[in-house]
Structures are given as C-alpha cells and as structure tokens.
A and B are shown apart, each in its own frame.
Chain A
C-alpha cells in the first residue's frame, strides 16, 4: 500500500468529517434561535445534564483539590515553596482543573448517554418518524441538548471550583498544618476574577462540544446495537480529545497577551 495515498485519504476523510460536523453544528445552533422552542425538552435536558452530573463533578473536584494540595506541598518542599499551596490550588482549580476534569467527567456521562439515546432512535427509525410527524429532529433533539449543555457546564464548573478549593483547604489545614484563617485569606487574596471567568468560558465551550459530539455520533449511527455502541464510544473519545484541544486554544486566547 502506498503510504502517501493512505495519508492523503486519511486527510480527506478528516476534512470531510470536519465539514459535516461544521454543518451539523451550524444547523443545531440555528434551531436554538428559531421558534418553536421546546421548553419541556430544554428543561429535561437541564435536569439530566446539570443536576444529575452534580455528584460526579463534585466528587472529582473534591479529590482533585485534595491531591493537588498534597502534591504542591511535597513538590514545593524541595525548594522551600511549600507555603504556596493555597495560591496554587486556587489558580490551578479555577483556571484548568475545574473546567477540564469536570468536562471530561461530564463527557463520559452525557456524551455517551446522548449518543446512545439518539443512536437508538436512529436505528429504530424514530428519527424518521419525527420527520413524518412534521417535527424537525434538529429542533427536537439537537437544539435542546446543545443549549442545555452550554448553559449548564459553567454552572457545574463554578460549583466544582468551590468544592475543589475546599478539598485543598481540607488537606492543607487538616493534614499539612496550615492555619485556617491564613489559608482562606491567601486563597481569597489570590483569587482573580479573570481566572474564574476564563474557566467559565472554557466550560461553556466544553459543554457545547460534549452535546455536539453526543448528538452528532448518535445521529450518524447505523447498523443496529453494534452501531449504537460504536457511536457511544466515538462520542466520548472525540469529545474528550476536542475538550483538551479547545482547552489549549482558549487558554492561548486568554493568557497570551
């Protein structure tokens, strides 16, 4: 096999997929803003994406904050910088770890569920049935999910930020012997609005990616149960990779002045 042809073919496939994804996302967004609006469905999605992800996101944030404090202390003690625990925890959680780890967890939960549900609807012809009942599947299935995920992810991350910093506080004061008041004061002094805001902007982008991947792969699944399984896997993997990629882009946008 000719390696150049293989690379070329892979590149063309990549471009074609990117194009299809772009069109898919465009239609999804267009239907968010064009009536009729399915308020019930948007409400349902807000519950299942936002509310039911709280335990997962909260627990991950807690443990992340805890381990972060521990690592900074251990690493920092090598050059007498162990006093920086509170500062680095709040910076790391709000800028990076809150949004990224939160989004990765939600991707595993929500992208997979969306791909499985929409994929099953595709292979059992329920999506065709929507069309024959004068209902646009983009408006009915895709738009509410995109909207709800984009709105709910920042809220989840805000909560994750708080819990993550709290995890650092627990380890910092309980195990590493920091003074409670000093720790809180340092955290507060070091907390920058721009860090939190950049994290929330990231979260909104990640939320959009999570729903887009779930819907896209579900919509294009084919070939019965196996196809739905494949769609689910692809949704989670591609959402995770795109989240990390987008994370770099947004960080670059915010902090490279």
Chain B
C-alpha cells in the first residue's frame, strides 16, 4: 500500500478552446512528501491544481488519489474526496462577508457540521498557529494586510487537518521577510499534520525551503523533476535559466523587441 503514490497524474491534458494549457502532465507525489512545481507565469500551474481538485475537468489523462481514479467523480464520492484536501488559493480567496474566524472555521462548520462555539475555539487555535491573535479573528478580511490574509488563508487550509494540501503561490506579492515567515509556517504545519503537499511557486527561496522534490513545468509539460538538492546541478538548461532568472536561454518570453 505504501508504494502507491498519494497523488499521481498521468497524461493530463487541459485546453481552453484552441489553447492547450496542459499537454500531457505526468507527476507523482509519494505519501507525506512535498513537491514544489516551478515554472513561468501562465504555464498552467494553477490550472493543474484545479484539475486535481476537480474544479476543472481535464479532457484527457488520469488523476489518482491513493490509487483511486478521480477524474469525473461526482456527488457523494467527490464530497468524500474533497475532505482530504486543503487549498491555499493564489489570491487568498477569503470570504469577505465573513469574519476572519468564520473563514477559518468554515470547513468545520459547513463541511463537517461542527457547532459554532467549538469551531470558533478551534479556529482561534489555528490562528495562533499562524501567529495571529484571537482579536484578529473578529476582523473582516478587508481589514487585513496581504501577508495577514495569506496567513488566515493558510489557517483555513489546515483547519480541518487535511491529508493533502495545495499551496498556490503562497509567497507571491509578499516582502521577503513575510515570505520567509509563511515558508516557515508551511513547513511547520505540514510537519505537524504529516500531510502530502503540492506547492506552486516561482520564488526559488521558497521552493528550496519547503520542497522535498522539485518539478519544472514548461509549455504544458513537466520537463524536469528531481530532489531539491539537485536543482542546482540539473543539467537542464530550462531549469538553469529559471532558477537564475536570466532573460537569455531556451525559454523565450513573448516580448516584442523594439
């Protein structure tokens, strides 16, 4: 049982009209490991995660969780599967009509039918874990800074203690110090839960900190994957260009030169 990967994608294809975004993605994440996917903007990283979550349906390919095929799953089976997941969205995606603590407790109250009093206590505990006091819980998301919103979103993602957590650009748009705080929180929370994680980033400092393995996506395919220690000597010109952030190399940004 233990050699069945927690998450396995095989030949996943997703297109929007004529535009092919994912063109046969193969990926495996062993139980309890942390994979970080790197790649340029608009290469389909968020789309890939949404396919795994079932928010989008791929045209082709297979996505297995614990060895069970999940593409096309609906109804109760999909609901049961959803409970395994926690997700930190790129833009935090906090519910702005609800208070911070209600956001964190949302999955517990609505999804699992926990009482509000107990859920509030748990939410405050989770907020504490991401370094926010109970008084923050009474505020609305619009009253928080970007870094605090990300922390609340992190608390919400881990509140129901999911087996699998996705982080979509957890540090994008934050200053380097706050980014490192978030990285530490992610590492800490994941260790505590023993969760399997799939993260997306183009922040290499973040990738080095949270990854066991790194995969690079380019033009809808995974072009390199390996342990995080080897990312500097991958021998792959695409990876080298990306981690050193050079404009010259095999990856061409679509910028018209004057």
Contacts and interface: CB of A to CB of B under 8 A. Distances in A.
A129 B89 contact: yes
A121 B50 CA distance: 16
Contact of A135 (B86, B90, B106): B106
B107 A133 contact: yes
A126 B83 contact: no
A189 interface: no
B79 interface: yes
Interface in B30-73: 50, 53-55
Given A134-B83, A135-B106, A129 B111 contact: no
Given A128-B50, A128-B55, A129-B87, A135 B111 contact: yes
Interface residues on A, range: 10 to 19
A81 to B, nearest CB: 54
Contact of A131 (B55, B90, B91, B112): B55
A199 to B, nearest CB: 34
Interface string A97-130: 0000000000000000000010001001110110
B87 to A, nearest CB: 4
B204 interface: no
A132 interface: yes
B93 A125 contact: yes
Contact of A126 (B54, B86, B95): B95
Interface in A132-177: 132-135, 140
B55 A134 contact: no
B107 A125 contact: no
Contact of B93 (A126, A134, A135, A140): A126
B85 interface: yes
B26 to A, nearest CB: 24
A41 B86 CA distance: 24
Contact of B112 (A126, A128, A129, A134): A134
Nearest to A125: B93
A134 B54 CA distance: 12
A129 B95 contact: yes
A72 to B, nearest CB: 46
Interface in B79-110: 79, 82-83, 85-87, 89-91, 93-97, 106-107, 110
Contacts, number: 51
A221 B239 CA distance: 36
A7 B84 CA distance: 49
Contacts of A132: 53, 55, 82, 85-87
Contacts of B83: 134
Main secondary structure of the interface of A (DSSP, over half): helix
A128 B166 CA distance: 13
Contacts of A125: 89-91, 93
Interface string B134-160: 000000000000000000000010001
A133 B89 contact: no
Nearest to B159: A133
A128 B85 CA distance: 13
B90 to A, nearest CB: 7
B107 A128 contact: no
B196 to A, nearest CB: 16
Contacts of B113: 36
A126 B53 CA distance: 14
B222 to A, nearest CB: 23
B89 A134 contact: no
A139 B103 CA distance: 18
Contacts of A124: 91, 93
B111 A133 contact: yes
Nearest to B153: A129
B53 to A, nearest CB: 6
A134 B110 contact: yes
A131 B82 contact: yes
Contacts of B94: 126, 129
Contacts of B97: 117
B91 A135 contact: no
Contacts of B160: 133
Closest 7 CB pairs of A and B: A134-B111, A133-B107, A125-B93, A129-B93, A132-B87, A135-B110, A125-B89
Interface of A: 36, 117, 121, 124-126, 128-129, 131-135, 140
Given A117-B97, A124-B93, A135-B110, 10 more contacts: A121-B95, A126-B94, A128-B89, A129-B93, A131-B82, A132-B85, A132-B87, A133-B160, A134-B82, A134-B107
25 contacts: A36-B113, A117-B97, A121-B95, A124-B91, A124-B93, A125-B89, A125-B90, A125-B93, A126-B93, A128-B55, A129-B94, A131-B53, A131-B55, A131-B82, A132-B53, A132-B87, A133-B106, A133-B160, A134-B83, A134-B110, A134-B111, A134-B112, A135-B107, A135-B110, A135-B111
